[in-house]
Amino acid sequence: MKKVVLITGISSGFGKQTARLLSQMGHSVYGTVRKSIQADPGVNVLIMDLTDHKSIREAVRTVVEKEGRIDVLINNAGMHTGGPVETLPSEFLRLQMETSFLGMVHVTREVLPVMRSNNGGRIINISSIGGLMGLPFQGFYSASKFAVEGFSEALRMETAGFNIRVVVINPGDFHTNNSLNRRSYLAPSGPEDPYAAQFKKSLAIIEHDEGKGWDPALLAKTLARIVECANPRQRYIVGSFDQKLAVLLKKVLPGRLFRMILAGHYGLRQKP
C-alpha cells in the first residue's frame, strides 16, 4: 500500500538514498533540506532547518495540506561534532543537541497529532552505534544519540496505544557526507592542547573507519523494508560484525574491560 513518508535531511547520505528508493517503490515521499536542491523525480522537497521551529511546523503543515496524513516519519537529519569534551566550543554542543536531538523531538511533536488523528503511524529514529556506547572525542555526538535512545523508548510506550510504532536504527560506519561535514565542527587544536595527540590519532581512526564504511544505499534498503513490513522490530543495528560484537560485549563484559577494548581501538592510552 502506498504510504505518505516524511524524511528529514535528503540532500545526501542515508536521506538521499532512502527518499530515492521509497519514491521508486511508489510511496509519496516528502524530504527536507536546508537549501533548495535538485531532488530525484518523484521526491517532494520541503525546506526545513531542525534548529528553526517555524520551518518544522511549516514543512509538516505542507504535507498535511497536500496528503491529509503522514504514515511514516523518518527522523534522519543530523550532524557530527568531533573533539575533546573539555575544549570543543560550546556552540558546537548547542548545535549538536539542537540538530540531532531537539530537532528530532520538535519534528516528532508536530507529526504525532497527525498520526493520532489518522489512527496510527510509524516513526523511525536514526540513532547510531554511538548511541549505545560513548565514543571518545565524539562525546557531544554520543550524548545526542543517547538522548535519542531514551526519548524513543519513552515515546514508544506512550504512543503504542495509538497504534504508533517507534523504531530505532543504530547504523555503524557508512560512507556518506558525514565525515566531510564534520570537518567544519572539529575542536580547534594547537600545540598547547593537552588532548591534541590523542584526538589526532582517534580522528584518523574514525575517518578511516568511515572511509571504508558501507554504501548508504544498503541502509536505505533496510529502511524501506521497515516502512513496508507489517510488524517491524523495535531496533535494527546495521553494521559490521565487529560493530555488532562491540554492542554485545558492552552488555556482557565488566565496564572497565570494555572501556580498555574500545579505547584500544581508538589508540588511546588508559590507566586501568
**Closest separation in Å from C-beta 9 to ligand NAP:** 3
CA angle 136, 139, 144 (to 5 degrees): 140
Concerning whether 90 is annotated as a catalytic residue, the answer is no
Concerning whether 145 is annotated as a catalytic residue, the answer is yes
Active-site residue (options: 28, 100, 127, 144): 127
Take residue 260 and report the three cell numbers written for it: 580498555
All residues at 6 or more sequence positions from 86 whose CB lies less than 8 Å from its CB, including other chains: 195
Q: Which stretch binds ligand NAP (CB under 6 A): 56-64, 157-165, 168-176, 199-207?
A: 168-176
**Closest separation in Å from C-beta 222 to ligand NAP:** 12
Concerning whether 251 is annotated as a catalytic residue, the answer is no
Concerning whether 12 is annotated as a catalytic residue, the answer is no
**Closest separation in Å from C-beta 169 to ligand NAP:** 8
**Closest separation in Å from C-beta 191 to ligand NAP:** 31
- 50 touches ligand NAP by CB under 6 A: yes
> Closest CB to ligand NAP belongs to which residue?
13
Binding site for ligand NAP (CB under 6 A): 8-15, 33-35, 48-51, 76-80, 99-100, 126, 128, 171, 173-174, 176-178, 181, 210, 213, 216
